Structure 1
């Protein structure tokens, strides 16, 4: 099932990750107003991120794209404002013809760009890294880029023949690593090994692969760089990796980080290996309100004792409370309603 077709109410991690992105954009506004930027992303059929970018930041120059005509038709119906342009395009086409697309949409006067490339196909990882590199070559200082890719180790395994003996763990990791290497080629970090085919290790390896692409697009000899601001891994079934950063003049990087007070933000990343794990169990409304009420003042053990259970939706309560304290303000409230 593609990311465009998964019901959003079944993706609480995605919802929290999206709202953290908006919170980060709010911080970036301390450095530069974003109201007159253009926002472009795949958006899927509900255009949830377009709605939030418009409502919270006031951005009206919106572009949504998808390869599926039917998805684009639904996007057109779900547009948050009339100035949202929906088009049938591949991400490659959007990147290669970005300036012309802005002109055709009437957005050539935008002060900058916020672009989210939200991928789902792990077999196209190498192509996705190269698209990221091409995009950085197109953009200017102040532009913001976010990319989400599949970082699930099992998606790098070979299909098992019917009746075949399951491979040993070491053999499986070696096969996964070989497939990862064949897909991303030159972008594979020299330090990577089959031992990295774990959730944490694969996320780090892929993040460093994007770091290599960023360095290739904006080498140290140039005046600009791509500064990663937040890198998060999460799993609504399969592990995903989200990388958000900004193109900035090297001499202004420290000033930017101080202005937006990034160090005080719980999900900030101080480099490409600083990756946060987002743990979002499915909670009932009553459970959520209980944890939300006590998360600031009570210890984990006190809350576990009071609530009376130690796991929620297969996640240990002790495990998610540290993460929950950082993101509880962004936890989605999903309720049934009859309209």
Structure 2
């Protein structure tokens, strides 16, 4: 959304590469709610459009919208669009989303924020929840770097958290323990998003007389990872009572990385050579053949768990 693409090449971050493929496989399972190719995809393409490329290729989604706040470089983003069917919407997400969210069309949202968590991200979640349709997904990625405060200073911690989520979301019985951990901060921020959505849907359902159309939602993914800064991603599936029967058919729980609680799936990427990767795959899953002078059991297990999603990068002289 911002001009962070000048700092980060989103296409080659290894943990992000794995996450993107996992998201793809999650979205593919939504077909029981409707044809995936009939969905919209709304995200932040930056100038790399990496998620747009993979979702168009594998989900065959044609209606794709990229929100971009860096209006000073419009020509560059338009030039880098991989497909002409990607529509650019210029402006801050909280300004653009109101005109996109009020649609009956099933939509996959992935708002991949790159900066520190701020209250407008909760506002974006509220905007989407007010109009999202059954069978849609709202996904958010955010930096979960723990707030800075002096040990023992509960007022300093409260001030730091207020900058992230506003005062109304700070628990009255705030406990200082665990706040130096990015994992615990990710859980707190994820639950703030969940609570914001829940409050919106409660109000929305009050005005809906048809019980079959009352909207519900469930958390289906919760990732943590780091290609530098600690990051987290959460995805919520929305459905009305009339469509709840489709959830079982999607078999979302069959995805080994699916998470519906506070325990995240941590995407860890071992730093291995091509020869090391090849060897580990040849001996998989026999730990007794592992040469611990070369490999750690943790690196081997991480590769074996996620090998289907493990990225392969190579340099090609194409010009």
Q: Does the alignment reach a TM-score above 0.5? A: yes
Partners of 2:173 and 2:298 in 1: how far apart?
Answer: 29
Tell me if the contact between 2:94 and 2:120 (Cα under 8 Å) persists in the aligned partners.
Answer: no
Partners of 1:234 and 1:139 in 2: how far apart?
Answer: 28
Tell me if the contact between 2:94 and 2:123 (Cα under 8 Å) persists in the aligned partners.
Answer: no
1:18 corresponds in structure 2 to: 20
What CA deviation, in whole Å up to 9, does each residue of 1:167-200 have, x standing for no partner? 5xx3478744540144312234566522231122
1:105 corresponds in structure 2 to: none
1:275–1:191 Cα change, 3 Å? farther
TM-score (normalised: structure 2): 0.85
Question: How many residues are aligned here?
Answer: 306
The reply to whether residue 276 of structure 1 matches residue 265 of structure 2 is yes
Partners of 2:76 and 2:280 in 1: how far apart?
Answer: 37
Partners of 1:2 and 1:235 in 2: how far apart?
Answer: 20
Structure 1 segment 165-176 matched on structure 2, within 5 A: 170-171=151-152, 175-176=156-157
Partners of 1:4 and 1:151 in 2: how far apart?
Answer: 19
Three-state SS of the structure 2 residue aligned to 1:267 is coil
Partners of 2:12 and 2:101 in 1: how far apart?
Answer: 36
What CA deviation, in whole Å up to 9, does each residue of 1:240-260 have, x standing for no partner? 11011221124644x343212
1:304–1:225 Cα change, 3 Å? farther
Runs of 5+ in structure 2 lacking a partner? 206-213
The reply to whether residue 238 of structure 1 matches residue 217 of structure 2 is no
Tell me if the contact between 1:38 and 1:61 (Cα under 8 Å) persists in the aligned partners.
Answer: yes
What CA deviation, in whole Å up to 9, does each residue of 1:244-288 have, x standing for no partner? 1221124644x34321212221111123x1321111133322222
Partners of 1:244 and 1:59 in 2: how far apart?
Answer: 19
TM-score (normalised: structure 1): 0.81
Aligned Cα RMSD in Å? Answer: 2.7
2:254 corresponds in structure 1 to: 264
What CA deviation, in whole Å up to 9, does each residue of 1:91-145 have, x standing for no partner? 1122122168xxxxxxx8x8421111111221x5222112112211121111211
